[in-house]
Amino acid sequence: MRAIRTASAALLITAAVAVSAPTASADDGTTPNVTSFGFSVTPSTVAPGGTVTLTTEGCEVPSVTVTSGIFDTVTLTEGRPGTATVDLDAKAGAEYEIAFDCKGERGTTTLTVAHGTTPPAPVTPPAPPAPRKGVKAGFGSSTGSDALGTAELATGAVLIAGALGAAVALARRRGRSGGRP
């Protein structure tokens, strides 16, 4: 009987901790990592010799450096998009990491190389500069898997308090009965 009570208390405490802990997400490499600035490579699949467009948003420095093993380093100036031509010898079917560097903060995503070659893209005039935005204030986000809401925090607190109360009640009951179940 004592084992059942102990197991119940342990299960209740484990449930309380699990509900109140923030949710962790595994980085399996298929999605871009989270940074304080946005970045993208389009298209996400390109043939050797093809051209990709590189964009960033929210980096408040004059330039962002974009590097990869399948094209030359590109510097994006003042939020303007840039282009890169994928090397002709890029391995078809392979995924390559593309790294964006904003003030030392590094964000990465992948680019998949398709089979075949793509003719060079026509030269287009550069896009007009993006409008200047105000200062971004605050820290973190109010949404997402790592942000807990009031309801989750209250639920976790109630469960933890309940688990502790149950443990105290069991200990008192055990003390009154002289240690017998």
Q: How many independent structural domains does the chain possess? A: 2
The last residue of one of the domains, among 113, 129, 161, is 113
Nearest to 54 by CA among 93, 83, 16, 90: 83
Asked, for residue 60, whether it belongs to a domain, the answer is yes
Does 118 fall in a domain? no
Task: Assess contact for 37 and 107: CB atoms under 8 A.
Answer: yes
- What are the strands of the beta sheet with 105-113, ordered from one edge? 45-46, 105-113, 95-102, 63-68, 71-77
Q: What is the CATH number of the domain that holds 65?
A: 2.60.40.1930
Report pLDDT for 154: 80
Domain co-membership, 89 together with 58:
yes
Instruction: Please check whether residues 16 and 71 belong to one and the same domain.
Output: no
Q: CA-CA distances (angstroms) from residue 139 to 20, 36, 142, 147?
A: 21, 9, 9, 11
Whether residue 51 sits in one domain with residue 16? no
Q: Are residues 71 and 14 in the same domain?
A: no
Distance CA 152, CA 158 (A): 10
Tens of pLDDT, residue by residue, the chain (181 residues): 555 555 555 544 555 445 444 443 334 444 446 788 899 999 999 999 999 999 999 887 889 999 999 999 999 988 899 999 999 988 989 999 999 999 899 999 999 998 765 455 555 566 666 666 655 555 555 555 445 677 777 888 888 988 888 888 888 887 777 655 5
Residue 146 lies in a domain: no
Q: Is 27 inside any structural domain?
A: no
Q: Is residue 6 part of a domain?
A: yes
- The predicted pLDDT at position 131 comes to 63
| Angle, CA of 75, 76 and 82, to the nearest 5° | 100
The pairing of strands 45-46 and 105-113 is parallel
In a domain, 145, yes or no: no
Give domain status of residue 130, yes or no: no
Whether residues 101 and 162 fall in one domain: no
* 42 and 76 housed in the same domain: yes
The residues, ordered by sequence, that sit 6+ positions from 94 with a Cβ below 8 Å of its Cβ are 112, 113
Tokens of 163: 């688990």
Range of the domain at 70: 38-113
Kindly give, in sequence order, each residue whose CB lies less than 8 Å from that of residue 95, ignoring residues fewer than 6 positions away: 110, 111, 112, 113
pLDDT for the residue 173: 82
Q: Is the distance from CB of 34 to CB of 146 less than 8 angstroms?
A: no
Q: How high is the pLDDT of residue 68?
A: 94
The token pair at 147 is 């942000």
